[in-house]
């Protein structure tokens, strides 16, 4: 299956209305808080001589960091506008970006054919995907890593809903970057906690390691507290 036209348009409108300024998207955190510690968790299991594919790369902030830890980094995103942001911010030197619908199995297989078994980095993609599309997203991870690659997947947990709910209920209303998420019809933390590991294992992935973490956001509450969203990470291999 492919994603719905409505879902695709929500992401296009979000990224089309986002400037090239770093941190304007609520999840566009500095790699020192995200891709760096995540790479540290992945690398004991992964071959850095293989490419790494950043699924749902957005404007490519994390992709560009990953290129410093792996032989090559390829950022892919459903949104054409996001990919254009990423390209404007810089490619080359082992970094490239392309539009890709993770539910398009033929396109995913074509990427694997071009790169061979690769590593995967996927930060908070399944939880906001349409429910019917989530098995295909997990299957895309398995297809890209094949038998030799490894994946790092981190997804928001249900506890994030409480954090977001408190932020939205502040007297002045949701902080601006969070308000934009809701305005564009995006649905953070929409998956149940049990759903994520089930989808991964049903896709033929083996969980090598896992743990709890938090995903720092670029938005703050009225009192200045940074919004950090509870999450769970998984290091995965193909079976």
Range of the domain at 55: 5-238
- pLDDT, residue 80, reads 95
What CATH number corresponds to the domain at position 159? 3.40.50.150
The pTM (predicted TM-score) of the whole model is: 0.96
Q: Residues of the chain whose pLDDT is less than 50?
A: none
Per the document, the length of the chain is 239
- pLDDT, residue 190, reads 79
Number of domains the chain contains: 1
- pLDDT, residue 91, reads 67
What are the pLDDT digits (tens) for 5-35? Answer: 999 999 999 999 999 888 999 999 999 999 9
- pLDDT, residue 114, reads 97
């Amino acid at each position: 299956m492919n994603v719905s036209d409505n879902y695709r348009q929500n992401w296009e409108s979000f990224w089309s209305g986002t400037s090239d300024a770093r941190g304007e998207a609520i999840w566009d955190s500095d790699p020192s808080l995200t891709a760096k510690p995540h790479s540290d968790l992945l690398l004991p299991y992964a071959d850095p001589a293989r490419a790494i594919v950043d699924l749902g790369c957005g404007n490519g902030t994390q992709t560009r960091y990953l290129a410093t830890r792996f032989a090559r980094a390829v950022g892919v995103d459903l949104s054409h506008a996001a990919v254009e942001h990423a390209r404007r911010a810089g490619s080359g030197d082992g970094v490239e970006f392309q539009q890709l619908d993770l539910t398009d199995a033929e396109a995913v297989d074509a990427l694997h054919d071009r790169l061979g078994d690769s590593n995967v980095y996927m930060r908070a993609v399944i939880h906001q995907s349409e429910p019917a599309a989530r098995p295909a997203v997990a299957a895309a991870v398995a297809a890209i890593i094949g038998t030799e690659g490894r994946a790092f997947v981190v997804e928001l947990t249900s506890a994030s809903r409480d954090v977001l709910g408190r932020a939205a209920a502040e007297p002045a209303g949701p902080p601006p970057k969070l308000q934009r998420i809701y305005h564009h019809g995006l649905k953070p933390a929409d998956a149940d906690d049990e759903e994520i590991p089930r989808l991964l294992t049903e896709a033929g992935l083996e969980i090598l390691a896992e743990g709890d973490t938090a995903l720092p956001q670029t938005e703050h509450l009225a009192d200045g507290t940074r919004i950090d969203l509870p999450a769970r990470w998984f290091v995965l291999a193909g079976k």
